[in-house]
């Protein structure tokens, strides 16, 4: 008996027996990631502003392998300028991968060596689970908003990085 064949949206061969409700995902190539990739997110954007001697980086989009070199370069320029206080606003960030997390920690360490202060603000629900798993609050000062971070910096409540010593908050 002849059974007509057609291809689903992934290019997989299907028959009428498979029915339209059965969807078979195309086999993944070795080393590839599942459907949830950074391409599902907005490209990274940064707005820099200065408020009362504090530099604020407002990031939006995805901090991933593709954007991390740019972010590292921006952080390096702040180190060269001897930036005394930097707040990174993550409230509009959709996604962060391990390279982004490492970049934040590296800047915290490098800025602290020169007495610079670094903290994060606005950890949204997209990032909260990741930050909870890696326990960033033990290393970095994290605040609900930029205003809270600025107030804490002014009160002297945000210490510079100290090797093997958790941040106080």
pLDDT at position 22 is 37
Q: What is the pLDDT of residues 29-76, one digit of tens each?
A: 444 444 444 456 677 889 999 999 999 999 999 999 989 999 999 999
- pLDDT value of position 143: 96
Percent share of the chain, pLDDT over 70: 72
Provide the mean pLDDT of the chain.
80
Q: How far apart are CA 164 and CA 75, in angstroms?
A: 22
CA dihedral angle for residue 143, residue 146, residue 151, residue 152, rounded to 10 degrees: 30
Examine the pLDDT at 144 and tell me if it is beyond 90.
Answer: yes
Residue 87 — pLDDT band, cuts 50, 70, 90?
Answer: very high
| Higher pLDDT pick, 136 / 18 | 136
Give the pLDDT band (50/70/90) at residue 114.
confident
HEC string of the chain equals: CCCCEEECCCCCEEECCCCCCCCCCCCCCCCCCCCCCHHHCCCCEEEEEEECCEEEEEEEEEECCCCHHHHHHHHHHHHHCCCCEEEEEEEEEEEECHHHHHHHHHHHHHHHHCCCEEEEECCCHHHHHHHHHHCHHHCCEEECCHHHHHHHHHCCCCCCCECCECCCC
Residues 89-103: tens digit of each pLDDT: 999 999 999 999 999
């Amino acid at each position: 008996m002849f059974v007509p064949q057609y291809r689903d949206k992934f290019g997989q061969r299907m028959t009428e027996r498979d029915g339209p409700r059965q969807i078979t995902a195309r086999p993944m190539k070795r080393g590839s990631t599942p459907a949830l990739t950074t391409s599902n997110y907005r490209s990274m954007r940064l707005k820099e502003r200065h408020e009362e001697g504090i530099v604020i980086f407002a990031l939006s989009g995805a901090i991933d392998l593709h954007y991390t070199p740019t972010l590292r370069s921006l952080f390096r320029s702040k180190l060269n300028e001897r930036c005394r206080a930097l707040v990174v606003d993550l409230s509009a960030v959709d996604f962060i991968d391990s390279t982004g997390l490492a970049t934040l920690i590296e800047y915290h360490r490098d800025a602290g060596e020169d007495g610079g202060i670094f903290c994060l603000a606005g950890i949204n629900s997209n990032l909260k689970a990741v930050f909870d798993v890696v326990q960033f609050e033990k290393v970095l000062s994290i605040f609900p908003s930029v205003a809270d971070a600025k107030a804490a910096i002014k009160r002297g409540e945000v210490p510079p990085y100290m090797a093997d010593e958790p941040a106080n908050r």
